[in-house]
Structure 1
Amino acid sequence: MAEILAEIYSWISFVPKITFKNLIEIAIIAILVYEMLIWIKNTRAWTLLKGIVFILAFFLAAAILELDTILWLLEKTSYIAVTAIIVIFQPELRKALEQIGSQNVLTTLFSTDDTKKNEDFSEKTIAELVRACFEMGKVKTGALIVIERGTPLGEIERTGIEVDGIVTSQLLINIFEHNTPLHDGAVVIRGNRVTAATCYLPLSDNMDISKALGTRHRAAVGVSEATDSVTLVVSEETGRVSVAVSGRLKSVKDGDELRDILSVLVKRETENTGRFRIWKGRRRNERKADE
């Protein structure tokens, strides 16, 4: 028996001894990596991370093929890239440091709250949006409605006023009614709820946009270029309903076409991401910390 134990020990003797101190270090590193991934997911850094992964893959391919010139160029530009990343993401980095000092870390980590803010984009919500857009189009009431998909719109929400109401056609029509306090700006929708109104959107620099279209349409294209959101626009001049996605603006002829577009673009997206509740819960906690 002693010989058997000695033989087993000889096979596993190369494994270092793990102490209680090592376990604490592993836990701390795991938490820090997890928090960093959450921060990346909730900011524009998520898009940056995908770009970095692509560059690293290109760098690896160049190393395997021994493309010396390309390797030299990548090595020289990497120093500039680090500085550029710090400058570009200065607001996000500052916000992350502020959250570290303001939020309750334990509450954030172990929160299991699952509120109705996590509801998926439903058929009823689609019907209410279609009804609201074409009702406003009939009387030429201008409207700008941004629907969140994968990219969080927390930064845009903070430029407006919190609403947190269930999406209904009556609510949207009342918000965009002329001479009301909330009619100027955009509405943000997450799931089945209107989260904020009077929000400011980035304007597109695309010179191909028709000069006949105003600031509202340019803002819709702008936010669709910066995020993966779907934006609905109702023209105040013509009453025409349009949809902005991925930097492109498409005019919609009737309610059935708009319903089909929303079902494909938004509802499928929420169904695909619905299984990742931990990300949604953490995103919600980040927004609560901002408040």
Structure 2
Amino acid sequence: MVKAITSGFTQIRLEDFVDIAIIAFFLYKLIILTKETRAFQLLKGIAFLFVAAIISETLQLQTLSWVLNSVLASGIVVLAVLFQPELRRALEHIGRGKIFNNGLLQNFKPEENEIVSEMQLAIMSLAKRRVGALIVIEQRTGLGDIIATGTRIDGIISAPLIENIFEPNTPLHDGAVIIRDGAIVAAACFLPLAEDIAVARELGTRHRAALGVSSVSDSVTIVVSEETGVISFAREGKLVRYIDQKALHDLLESIFVGKEAAGTLNIFKRRAKHEK
């Protein structure tokens, strides 16, 4: 397969440029559609295999080339299974005539320090009143598939907005808030639950959900317990509980401002091995 592609560059016609441009356009749209999901990481892995196959073909590494070509040849069926949600979403976009819409939002966002202040104020207030909360902060791994399960907000981060979302008996209080690029993009989102039976027995649904999403992504999830008002955060599939105001501030600052707070990182390393 790769050999056929590389040999095709010997004679290039005008039609070939048009052909390549069309393929490039659809590849670009595929990347845009999957960029906001966890499947984007898998797509990068497939691209790496494709490049490796071309290199092995060029260097005439026959065994490696055969293995990689076999994997890529059967990859279409695998992709259809693994990318089923993304393919469905792509077809929906085409059906709605939105294939040319890049979907980029132009929002005015507050400064990073203001985000830290507003989130800290909201979380401490929720904890004081023992109002349950679940806030997921997206990092490099896209959470578009999780965002799709909730209600789009696309709002500026503010303490009143966060508190109103989690106010009991309101339409959006049951579920997670997703924060991306300094904005609240969705609320009432469903998260995957931790599968560890021991963890499931000990903790509530919010904590299990925080552990679940942190196990499948690099997100940071903050939890407020409605029973005790205790603040916790989950990262890398591990849970740290009993976070005070200073540790919360350091955590938020390390995420939004980029200042690595040694105190919070030490707490995470020290407690992670005891609390999962």
C-alpha separation in 1, matches of 2:47 and 2:98? 32
Which of the pair has more CA radius of gyration?
1
Q: Equivalent residue for 1:209? A: 199
Q: Equivalent residue for 1:199? A: 189
Q: Which runs of 5+ in 2 are unaligned?
A: 1-9, 260-276
Of all paired residues, the percent bearing the same amino acid is 41
Q: Equivalent residue for 1:249? A: 239
2:84 to 78, 86, 90: 90
Write the deviation string for residues 171-223 of structure 1: whole angstroms up to 9, x where unpaired.
22222222233221111222333222222111121345363211110111112
1:101 to 80, 86, 95: 95
Q: Equivalent residue for 1:278? A: none
1:180 is the counterpart of 2:170: yes
Q: Secondary structure at the match of 1:228?
A: coil
Q: Equivalent residue for 2:212? A: 222
User: 1:147 deviation in Å?
Assistant: 1.7
Q: Secondary structure at the match of 1:115?
A: coil
Q: Equivalent residue for 1:262? A: 252
Counterpart amino acid of residue 78 in structure 2: A
Counterpart amino acid of residue 25 in structure 2: I
TM-score after normalising by structure 1: 0.70
8 A contact 1:234–1:240 mirrored in 2: yes
TM-score after normalising by structure 2: 0.73
Q: Equivalent residue for 2:158? A: 168
Q: Equivalent residue for 1:149? A: 139
Write the deviation string for residues 129-186 of structure 1: whole angstroms up to 9, x where unpaired.
1121122112221110112223333332332223333222222222222223322111
Q: Equivalent residue for 1:115? A: 106
Task: Indicate the structure whose relative CO is greater, using CA pairs within 8 Å and at least 6 residues apart.
Answer: 1
Counterpart amino acid of residue 117 in structure 2: A
C-alpha separation in 2, matches of 1:50 and 1:254? 39
C-alpha separation in 1, matches of 2:16 and 2:60? 40
User: 1:45 deviation in Å?
Assistant: 2.5
C-alpha separation in 2, matches of 1:259 and 1:52? 39
1:159 is the counterpart of 2:149: yes
Write the deviation string for residues 103-130 of structure 1: whole angstroms up to 9, x where unpaired.
3444x26x8x76116x477111111111
Q: Equivalent residue for 1:274? A: none
Q: Which runs of 5+ in 1 are unaligned?
A: 1-14, 270-291
Aligned-pair RMSD on alpha carbons? 3.6
1:135 is the counterpart of 2:125: yes
Counterpart amino acid of residue 163 in structure 1: I
8 A contact 1:121–1:191 mirrored in 2: no
Q: Equivalent residue for 1:47? A: 41
Change (3 A) 1:50 1:266: farther
